[in-house]
């Protein structure tokens, strides 16, 4: 039977204290670079494996983590993936104890966000996972979490200048540039491009703003297209509202050759294009799910840009938990890969 390698064994081999080895292995406190490298090399050579069960028995804490996410509504199931990833993260930390409590807010409803945020604070969590889609209201919540000294991490959307431990998600600015490059190669350089934002108050929706900025920046320094860039906001997904808005813009701008939808509700625009015999337009949007998948398969949507929400959510949970349980400070930003999806590879993503 092989001998169990202990921290004490590594300390003896490295000629350092047990406390120093513990700090290196659990990323606690300052240790000289040379010492850290020496300890890690010895630990690897000895095939050291931490006794997770013993460590958990020493910790009486049942970590309470609150999660504040947009509600996955009938026409947009993108946000239904994140809770699954977070639950997967919780299962992976066994035998540590963790209690999750989910709070859901309507995507473009600031009052509902604040209501759910108040309920979250009342629950008295040890840590918070937050999707700060609504910038102003999220900043208000972050201030209250700071006052209570409750650590928090951002998922999907980032807000600069806050005390979030980390952000896990796409680089929204770069994702906008990727969308622009796809449309640029798909239409004539003299055709106009329609930019559609499905939002009630675009200025307060951080990730859509960044995608728009990235999209526009591409044509300022890299794109070949020199047509008009026509930007509109549609406040909701009501088919009548969508039709009125788009009928008017296409009537006034007959030279449109490409359409960029800045959110995951790309299917709303695809449905309009199909029903109004405009499926020949080059359409790019975000996220592979349900109705988006259908219109991609029908080739009404040409490309979708995805960010693997379940993997993103599991990683976000782990960063927060490792900070609370092991004092492991995560990187401030962890940008996830951007998937470019079309009909040919949609079954492989």
What digits encode the pLDDT tens for the residues 308-331?
Answer: 999 999 999 999 999 998 888 899
Bigger pLDDT: 52 or 27? 27
Q: What's the CA dihedral at 71, 77, 79, 85 to 10 degrees?
A: 130
Please tell me the pTM assigned to this model. Answer: 0.78
Residues 6+ apart with CB under 8 A from 144: 117, 121
Query: Where does the pLDDT of residue 61 fall: very low under 50, low under 70, confident under 90, or very high at 90 and above?
Result: confident
Angle (CA) 172 173 179, round 5°:
85
From residue 90, alpha-carbon distances to 64, 181, 320 in Å are 11, 38, 11
Alpha carbon 126 to its chain's center: 21
Rounded to an integer, the average pLDDT of 103-116 is 94
Beta strands in 156-244 (DSSP E): 167-169, 192-198, 229-234
134 prior amide bond cis, ω within 30: no
Relative to beta strand 333-335, strand 303-306 is unpaired
Tens digits of residue pLDDT in 236-257: 889 999 999 999 999 999 999 9
Q: What is the phi/psi pair of residue 261, to 5°?
A: -105, 120
Residue with tokens 């807010």: 105
Q: Which residues on adjacent β-strands are paired with residue 285?
A: 304
Average model confidence (pLDDT) across the chain: 90
Q: How far is CA 248 from CA 112, 183, 238, 307, in A?
A: 32, 22, 16, 33
- What is the mean predicted confidence (pLDDT) over 102-116? 94
So what's the pLDDT on residue 51? 60
pLDDT score for 326: 84
Q: What pLDDT sits at residue 1?
A: 42
Would you place residue 3 in the very low, low, confident or very high pLDDT band (cuts 50, 70, 90)?
A: low
- The DSSP element (H or E) to which 103 belongs, if any, is strand 97-105
pLDDT of residue 22: 77
């Amino acid at each position: 039977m092989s001998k169990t390698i202990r921290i004490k064994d590594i300390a003896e081999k490295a000629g350092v204290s047990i406390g120093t080895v513990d700090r290196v292995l659990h990323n606690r406190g300052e240790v000289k670079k040379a010492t850290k490298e020496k300890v890690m090399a010895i630990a690897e050579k000895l095939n050291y494996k931490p006794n997770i069960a013993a460590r958990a028995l020493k910790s009486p804490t049942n970590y309470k983590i609150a999660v504040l996410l947009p509600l996955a509504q009938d026409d947009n199931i993108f946000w239904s993936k994140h809770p699954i990833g977070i639950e997967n993260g919780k299962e992976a930390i066994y035998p540590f104890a963790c209690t999750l409590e989910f709070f859901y807010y309507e995507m473009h409803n600031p009052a509902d966000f604040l209501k759910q945020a108040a309920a979250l604070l009342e629950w008295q969590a040890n840590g918070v996972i937050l999707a700060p889609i609504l910038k102003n209201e999220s900043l208000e919540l972050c201030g209250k979490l700071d006052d209570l000294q409750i650590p928090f991490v951002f998922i999907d959307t980032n807000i600069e200048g806050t005390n979030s431990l980390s952000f896990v998600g796409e680089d929204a600015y770069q994702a906008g540039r990727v969308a622009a490059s796809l449309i640029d190669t798909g239409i004539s350089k003299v055709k106009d491009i329609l930019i559609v934002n499905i939002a009630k108050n675009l200025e307060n929706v951080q990730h859509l703003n960044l995608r728009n900025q990235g999209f526009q920046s591409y044509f300022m320094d890299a794109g070949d297209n020199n047509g008009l860039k026509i930007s509109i906001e549609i406040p909701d997904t009501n088919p009548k509202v969508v039709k009125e808005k788009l009928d008017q813009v296409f009537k006034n701008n007959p030279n449109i050759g490409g359409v960029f939808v800045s959110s995951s509700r790309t299917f709303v625009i695809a449905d309009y294009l199909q029903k109004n015999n405009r499926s020949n337009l080059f359409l790019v949007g975000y996220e592979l799910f349900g109705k988006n998948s259908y219109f991609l398969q029908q080739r009404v949507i040409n490309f979708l840009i995805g960010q693997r929400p379940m993997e993103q959510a599991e990683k976000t949970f782990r960063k927060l938990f490792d900070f609370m349980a092991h004092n492991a400070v995560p990187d401030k930003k962890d940008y996830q890969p951007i998937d470019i999806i079309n009909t040919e590879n949609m079954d492989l993503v």
